[in-house]
């Protein structure tokens, strides 16, 4: 199955149903969407809309019940667990609301973690970690541990770590959810600077106030994409 254009991600009649004994609970109800390279996308929905399930499928942490998820023309549903693990590590940069940094590792070491799993040589890992720390304005914090950093600094480390394997896209899960307004603005400014260099960013959020930041908005309600709503461009 090929897309024949510049779509990075395609969702085709994507459905997800969970089962509790004989009870079927449909969560995603036939999503169709495409995301082009270099786009800053917001997936917006309230609790229970299905956005967390979609996030897990996009991040290859879960699989759809039916339909297709294509990443760079590859049907993810056709991959083995080991192939999924490799692509997850090399193609997707994860950024979480709670940062998910290793408390016993320094800034430099936290940034290196995905490269360790990708078996990048130590010298190259260190050089890239230093460069990325500098890009997110933490070059002076390389030897610090997370408990010595502010919330905004921790999120910057998480962004640098997500970029370490030069992923196809960044998948950000409520990345400003634990930050104050000023720090949230700084993180959004950082995302825009990455986007301006060509990065594809998919951000999941419950906050409609962020809509103006995105090139494309996918609004979820009750497991479906809200129809007939215009895309938001900045």
Domain segments of the chain as ranges: 37-67+74-225
DSSP-assigned letters across all residues of 24-77: EEEEEEEEEEEEETT-EEEEE--TTSSHHHHHHHHTTSS--SEEEEEETTEEGG
Q: What is the pLDDT of residue 1?
A: 42
Backbone angles phi, psi at 200, to 5 degrees: -95, 125
Number of helical (H) and strand (E) elements in the chain, helices listed first: 6, 10
Burial class (CB in 10 A: 0-12, 13-18, 19+), 121: exposed
CATH number at 37-67+74-225: 3.40.50.300
Burial class (CB in 10 A: 0-12, 13-18, 19+), 16: buried
pLDDT tens readout for residues 75-129: 998 899 999 999 998 899 999 888 999 999 999 999 999 999 999 999 999 999 9
pLDDT tens readout for residues 194-216: 999 999 999 999 888 899 999 99
How far does Cα 146 stand from its chain's mean position?
21
- Alpha-carbon distance of 28 to 212, in angstroms, equals 25
- Alpha-carbon distance of 30 to 109, in angstroms, equals 41
Q: Full-prediction pTM beyond 0.85?
A: yes
């Amino acid at each position: 199955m090929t897309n024949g254009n510049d779509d990075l991600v395609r969702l085709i009649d994507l459905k997800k149903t969970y089962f509790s004994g004989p009870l079927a609970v449909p969560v995603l109800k036939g999503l169709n969407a495409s995301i082009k390279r270099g786009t800053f996308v917001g997936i917006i929905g309230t609790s229970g809309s299905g956005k967390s399930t979609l996030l897990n499928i996009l991040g290859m942490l879960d699989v759809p019940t039916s339909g297709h998820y294509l990443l760079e023309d590859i049907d993810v549903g056709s991959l083995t667990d080991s192939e999924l693990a490799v692509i997850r590590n090399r193609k997707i940069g994860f950024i979480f609301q709670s940062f998910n940094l290793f408390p016993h590792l320094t800034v430099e070491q936290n940034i290196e973690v995905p490269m360790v799993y990708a078996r990048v040589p130590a010298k190259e890992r260190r050089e890239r970690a230093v460069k990325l720390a500098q890009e997110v304005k933490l070059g002076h914090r390389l030897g610090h541990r997370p408990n010595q950093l502010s919330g905004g600094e921790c999120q910057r480390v998480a962004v640098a770590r997500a970029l370490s394997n030069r992923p196809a896209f960044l998948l950000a899960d409520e990345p400003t959810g634990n930050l104050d307004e000023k720090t949230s603005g700084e993180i959004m400014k950082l995302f825009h600077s990455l986007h301006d260099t060509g990065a594809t960013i998919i951000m999941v959020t419950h906050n409609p106030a962020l809509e103006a930041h995105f090139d494309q908005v996918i609004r979820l309600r009750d497991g479906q994409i809200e129809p007939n709503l215009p895309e938001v461009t900045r």
